[in-house]
Amino acid sequence: MARQAMTLIGGGPVGALLAQLLAKRGFAVTVFEKRSDPRRIGFKRGRTINLAIAERGLQALRTAGLAERALQKSVMMRGRMVHPLGGEAGLQRYGVDDSEVIWSISRSGLNALLVDAAEEAGATFHFGQTLVSADIDEQCLSLIDREDVQRDYGAGLLIGADGAGSALRAAMDLYQPLGIRVEPLGHGYKELEIPPAADHRRFAIEPHALHIWPRGGYMSIATPNIAGSFNVTLFLPLHGPHPSFDTLRDAATASAFFGRDFPDLAPLMPRFADDYDGHPVGKLATLYLDRWHIDGRAVLVGDAAHAIAPFHGQGMNCGFEDTVVLAELLAGCGRDTAGAFAKFQQIRKPNADAIAAMTLENYVEMRDSVADPRYLAKLELSTRMTQWSPEYFMSRYRMVTFTLLPYAYAYERGRVQNQVLEQLLRDFPRAGDVPQDVAMSALQAALPPLPSLL
Ligand code: FAD
């Protein structure tokens, strides 16, 4: 019997990983990607240069047999190194020890690895091919190449992995409205860089951390690259009073602001002016869809279905979880692809909605709370509760980042745990004063034990 044909639009991290998983399961996979081959050109400067991989992403890479190769290209990050204005920087660990860490990897390096692996599994990639429109009834694509030559392509099943601005999504929505809702955050980002220290091999600051300079309504972060540099991202409101991208239009105004608001960061960026003036301002938004598929003909995955802001470092991790679920459903559905796509949406959409909500909450936490005494008291009490009763208490951040518990479960359990913490800190203003037995009875009255994580 002929192998069933699957056509993917987009060979970014999610598309390339899905291509590998589907090809391994015997599907005839073709990928159209608008950019050039990432193995030959690298990525344009000014796009996010690296990404944090957490447990969900790692688990998907394990399924693909690629986790070790990805980890070899990554730098471990143990926690947030918080740089308060005028104070000492301090590490807030993400997990209990070094078994709970996240990994910083170059986007282009990861993408190249995934494309290689997908080709090894039998998928075919066509680079420099942009989808311009799609006839969903006929399952026919219209693509344009670098020389502006347009061609039509008779596709099999259509899978849109073409990111937040998905062209396949637009074509599907024209055919049958998907209920698209885009909620702009009103904030944007700009990418800068800390080069390696003078001898070109050492990191200029602690490498095994995600650095944060929280400043209330805005912040900078820095993540390490294996070559010794750091990718710095400035997050600011797009418009409005100072500071915003409106009031910091160029390097001349921004460098005075950096000198004042990020005095320990500014001197680490000798190419600040070129980077600031040369890199675009990225806009952040959350994308929600009521429907992710059109019967058994077309489906969306990753950012094309559920783009989120980057404040939990979970966008790609969530997209990677999608790929494993979708590949399994397609492999097990026979010819009932409509059933597989419907099940995929049923399983993944509540989880995508939950991580979108937690991401927005995490932004407030990162830019405002990490230096706030009340937040720090909650953090201290959370650490105590984890030690007292790991079967009942796990911080939401750990559930999201270091387990495979569904995002929707982590969201709901985190909400109840937070209520318990708040109540205890109302009764005992200092975390150190909360008696263990009182804390444990409050927790056990509110929640069942955590499910087994094995
Ligand atoms: P994309 O990465 O957008 O890939 C889509 C692909 O489709 C691209 O290669 C594109 O060229 C191609 N394409 C687009 N249109 C067409 C077309 N018409 N025809 C053909 N091809 C097309 N996530 C994490 O998990 N951890 C992080 O630390 C993290 N940090 C982030 C930091 C920032 C500042 C931002 C903005 C995002 C971050 N994310 C992070 C989110 C992550 O980048 C995305 O979730 C992830 O890239 C989604 O992968 P994707 O393959 O679905 O989409």
Determine the pLDDT at residue 235: 95
Which residue of 17, 18, 30, 34 sits with most ligand 1 atoms within 8 Å of its CB, as the best mutation to test the pocket?
34
12 ligand 1 Cβ < 6 A = yes
Closest C-alpha residue for ligand 1 atom 18: 131
State whether 163 and 227 are in the same domain. Answer: no
**CA dist., res. 378 & res. 414, Å (int):** 13
Which residue of 49, 162, 279 sits with most ligand 1 atoms within 8 Å of its CB, as the best mutation to test the pocket?
162
Phi, psi of 331 (to 5 degrees): -70, -25
ipTM score over 0.90, yes or no: yes
| Domain-located, residue 200 | yes
State whether 311 and 432 are in the same domain. Answer: no
Determine the pLDDT at residue 44: 52
State whether 291 and 260 are in the same domain. Answer: no
Domain closes at, from 284, 313, 329: 284
State whether 156 and 37 are in the same domain. Answer: yes
- Quote the percentage of the chain above a pLDDT of 70: 96
**CA dist., res. 242 & res. 249, Å (int):** 11
316 ligand 1 Cβ < 6 A = yes
Q: What DSSP line would sit under 139-180, residue for residue?
A: TEEEEEETT--EEEEE-SEEEE---TT-HHHHHHHHHS---E
State whether 66 and 155 are in the same domain. Answer: yes
Which residue of 48, 75, 105 sits with most ligand 1 atoms within 8 Å of its CB, as the best mutation to test the pocket?
48
Each residue of 416-428: pLDDT tens digit? Answer: 999 999 999 999 9
State whether 119 and 162 are in the same domain. Answer: yes
207 ligand 1 Cβ < 6 A = no
Determine the pLDDT at residue 389: 93
52 ligand 1 Cβ < 6 A = yes
| Domain-located, residue 432 | yes
Each residue of 55-106: pLDDT tens digit? Answer: 999 999 999 999 999 999 999 999 999 999 999 999 988 888 899 999 999 9
Query: Which residue range is the domain that position 291 belongs to?
Result: 5-79+104-182+285-361
* Cβ(110)–Cβ(73) below 8 Å: yes
Determine the pLDDT at residue 42: 55
Closest C-alpha residue for ligand 1 atom 4: 12
> For the chain (length 454 residues), average pLDDT per consecutive 10?
90 98 98 94 59 98 98 96 93 89 96 98 98 95 97 95 98 98 96 86 91 92 94 96 97 97 97 97 97 98 97 97 98 96 98 97 76 86 94 95 97 98 95 97 97 79
Each residue of 139-176: pLDDT tens digit? Answer: 999 999 999 999 999 998 999 999 999 999 999 999 99
233 ligand 1 Cβ < 6 A = yes
Determine the pLDDT at residue 45: 47
Domain count, the chain: 3
What is the rounded average pLDDT for all residues in the chain?
94
* Cβ(358)–Cβ(312) below 8 Å: yes
Distance of CA 233 from the midpoint of ligand 1 (Å): 16
| Domain-located, residue 91 | no
Distance of CA 319 from the midpoint of ligand 1 (Å): 9
188 ligand 1 Cβ < 6 A = no
Q: Encoding tokens for residue 393?
A: 């208490």
